Chain A
Amino acid sequence: DVKVTQSSRYLVKRTGEKVFLECVQDMDHENMFWYRQDPGLGLRLIYFSYDVKMKEKGDIPEGYSVSREKKERFSLILESASTNQTSMYLCASTLASAGYGYTFGSGTRLTVV
């Protein structure tokens, strides 16, 4: 069964900490995405990547960065965590070909205190 695996289900971090969220897919997908999901706001795209070492800003990239050194791994980095970054973070991947849906990971619930 194909999978997108996020390294942590729950994380609690302190304000100002540097936070790494890891995502690994085993489907040889070219495209990978990071979303955050908040009540009343839905899923919002943070960053995405079409290929190794490539990255594109999504709708809300401020306060985040990403790294894609290998095709299967896409990391989201919170440079200096703040309380307004408390959220559910979802990683997804898909083939580059037309019309394929995303496969999502189980999500990481991040709380910044």
Chain B
Amino acid sequence: EDQVTQSPEALRLQEGESSSLNCSYTVSGLRGLFWYRQDPGKGPEFLFTLYSAGEEKEKERLKATLTKKESFLHITAPKPEDSATYLCAVQAVGDSRLTFGEGTQLTVNP
């Protein structure tokens, strides 16, 4: 059974204080690892897909990396508007379904 564990559950940062969110996963064969951002009361918004260990993707202050067992979402010099819940999900080879972690709730204080 595919499993995704995200840590920490909640993270509070000061504006400009860089940090990382962790996503540990087990999957029979990785087809893709996905990061989403979710604002309160809204649906998740796609950020990145990573396909193989060593791959990195960047978007503004966010950078996602992937190893064979985990992924990190690095947030550099965050701003209050980066406050959201960040979700990680994996997709197994031969399957279109995603298995989600429970998310990390990020709060960035001004």
Contact = CB atoms under 8 A, between A and B. Distances in A.
B83 to A, nearest CB: 17
B41 A109 contact: yes
Contact of B42 (A31, A43, A102, A106): A106
Interface string A78-113: 000000000000101010101111111111010000
Nearest to B4: A42
Interface of B: 31-32, 34, 36, 41-46, 49, 51, 87, 91, 96-98, 100-103
Contacts of B43: 4, 90, 92, 104-107
A45 interface: yes
Contacts of A109: 41
14 contacts: A42-B87, A42-B101, A43-B100, A48-B97, A94-B96, A98-B31, A101-B49, A102-B98, A104-B36, A104-B43, A104-B44, A105-B43, A107-B42, A109-B41
Interface residues of A, number: 26
B41 A50 contact: no
B91 A40 contact: no
B100 A42 contact: yes
Contacts of B31: 98-99
Interface string A11-53: 0000000000000000000010100000011110100101000
A99 B32 contact: yes
B96 A96 contact: yes
Nearest to B51: A99
A37 to B, nearest CB: 9
A50 B96 contact: yes
Contacts of B45: 104
